[in-house]
Homo-oligomer: A and B are copies of this chain.
């Protein structure tokens, strides 16, 4: 992290840096070592600056969509990510990935090249232009928490710092447009960055804390619902302190899965209304003090609104405010309230938890046994080791993946709210560049794989080695129980032949338990390339979680299709 106060000249530059150089420096100051994107003529000058900079590496993907998803995953691991594209034909291709980063709080800096300010005089029809020169920035104003066009060298450095600060404050994407005739201009050398720390109102904090402590102390069966903001704001260690001090058990949500170590004795499981385990649901819904930390409860987190959570028995704390029962403290933030609870005189309780569901497989493999979804995930649960990060695409890859037990924290990644198909393969690229110690286990449906799976090409170029499990149920199987039709059918690719196209990698055809066993063992041994398992399951074979969700929503399905 950068110091709170430094001038442009004090940041290691010998002379006034150019606008492009300053942007690279500031990304690097905040931990960005890789920028994902596709080059294009309106951004080539900045591409060259990125290439010659020792601070960051430019990683070019097959399509901009892949770069957007990779940067999102990178941001989730690294605390900040960046994607760099050309004007409109590049930028508008990542409208969707930026929307996902917005919805799920992932701080991605979107950098787009643009026509030079001097080229815009008289509004000529420059290629890549849509309606007006500001069409793209107007689009991104809808999808980001701050945006800027770096047209003025006098203010460019300040603008860069302003929008990056917003990304870090809100953990959401921001947009920086870089006209090509501004990249190499020097900015204001006398500009000084001043960080403005943000604290909760002290009186409001004290009142909220007093109330929360009294409620927790009087509670018979308190439980913590750990939300995704604990991860985004780097508060996971604080949560561990609170739990180890008080013995209050923890549940996570679909979106926050792995925010708290799933091997910790205080971990109960995933709460997801009627979609999740019945024991966890009962424990949470019968709690007389539900402490929701950094959770924003989506329809999927709430099991399609089957959840029964009573505000009267809840303390809800987010990065924006704290709510107790039905009243709110607008200026009391997650970090401060959590610190207050850790320091409070809360007594430890005896730890009496319901039995956790564990995925222990019976004998595996059973000879000549066709592979099923349930047996696949039972086996994968054993396969996961200390260096595994699970990346699940939305759909049954996510729903079935909920029961997998990851070993450390933040080692389960999935867009479990925005739910954009095609995230997982490009995310493996962002993940492994952010942390080369981790080997991604990618769980992806065949439909999603056909959207972005060819980013394995980029994986090959950067010599990474994810293990990709294509859950091949011949179409959009999650949709079939809601509304089936030919529109859910797709071509059955010979996925294991992909190494023939890319010139490297190892592919496996998996139809039985023995083939799965062999493929997993071979994948573990082969650390030199990606491995792809084409796991062919019956199109009607869906996860227990999806079946629960479908049952719970049966009435709704008959009139309008259920979520996802």
Which B residues are in CB contact (< 8 Å) with A560? 45, 116, 119, 180-181
**Min distance, Cβ A78 to any Cβ of chain B, angstroms:** 21
**Min distance, Cβ A454 to any Cβ of chain B, angstroms:** 6
Other-chain residue from B44, B490, B563 in contact with A479 (beta carbon distance below 8 A): B44
Q: Report the Cα distance A31→B486, complex, angstroms.
A: 23
User: Copies per complex?
Assistant: 2
Instruction: Say whether A39 contacts B476, CB under 8 Å.
Output: yes
**Is A327 among interface residues, defined by CB-CB distance under 8 A?**
no
User: Which of the 9-residue segments A204-212, A360-368, A417-425 touches chain B?
Assistant: A417-425
Which B residues are in CB contact (< 8 Å) with A298? 125-127
**Is A498 among interface residues, defined by CB-CB distance under 8 A?**
yes
Which B residues are in CB contact (< 8 Å) with A497? 497, 500-501
Instruction: Say whether B89 contacts A420, CB under 8 Å.
Output: yes
Size category of the binding interface on chain A: 35 or more
Which B residues are in CB contact (< 8 Å) with A124? 299, 305
- Contact mask A83-112 → B, CB, 8 Å, 1/0? 000001100110110011011000000000
Whether A564 contacts B51 in the complex (CB less than 8 A), given A39-B487, A60-B487, A99-B88, comes out as no
**Is A18 among interface residues, defined by CB-CB distance under 8 A?**
no
User: Which of the 9-residue segments A137-145, A193-201, A274-282, A342-350 touches chain B?
Assistant: A137-145
**Min distance, Cβ A100 to any Cβ of chain B, angstroms:** 8
Residue ID in chain B nearest A493 by CB atoms? B501
Which B residues are in CB contact (< 8 Å) with A503? 491-494
Whether A127 contacts B39 in the complex (CB less than 8 A), given A483-B45, A501-B500, comes out as no
**Is A502 among interface residues, defined by CB-CB distance under 8 A?**
yes
Which B residues are in CB contact (< 8 Å) with A501? 493-495, 497-498, 500-501
Other-chain residue from B130, B300, B457 in contact with A493 (beta carbon distance below 8 A): B457
Whether A88 contacts B96 in the complex (CB less than 8 A), given A124-B299, A491-B457, comes out as yes
Q: Report the Cα distance A491→B44, complex, angstroms.
A: 20
Q: Report the Cα distance A275→B461, complex, angstroms.
A: 35
Instruction: Say whether A461 contacts B419, CB under 8 Å.
Output: no
Other-chain residue from B142, B559, B562 in contact with A135 (beta carbon distance below 8 A): B142
Which B residues are in CB contact (< 8 Å) with A189? none
Instruction: Say whether B96 contacts A89, CB under 8 Å.
Output: yes
**Min distance, Cβ A370 to any Cβ of chain B, angstroms:** 21
**Is A485 among interface residues, defined by CB-CB distance under 8 A?**
yes
Which B residues are in CB contact (< 8 Å) with A320? none
Instruction: Say whether A490 contacts B60, CB under 8 Å.
Output: yes
Instruction: Say whether A130 contacts B99, CB under 8 Å.
Output: yes
Instruction: Say whether B127 contacts A299, CB under 8 Å.
Output: yes
Whether A491 contacts B461 in the complex (CB less than 8 A), given A142-B130, A142-B138, A561-B45, comes out as yes
Q: Report the Cα distance A564→B561, complex, angstroms.
A: 44
**Is A325 among interface residues, defined by CB-CB distance under 8 A?**
no
Instruction: Say whether B485 contacts A47, CB under 8 Å.
Output: yes
Which B residues are in CB contact (< 8 Å) with A102? 130-131
Query: Could you list 13 further interchain pairs (A-B, Cβ under 8 angstroms) beyond the known A99-B130, A500-B500?
Result: A45-B561, A60-B490, A65-B93, A89-B100, A89-B420, A92-B95, A92-B143, A95-B96, A103-B130, A450-B454, A491-B502, A495-B501, A497-B501
Q: Would you list 8 pairs from A and B whose C-beta atoms are within 8 A, ordered by A residue? A: A41-B561, A102-B130, A126-B299, A128-B418, A130-B142, A181-B559, A457-B490, A492-B503
Name the 3 nearest CB pairs between A and B, nearest first. A92-B96, A44-B483, A95-B95
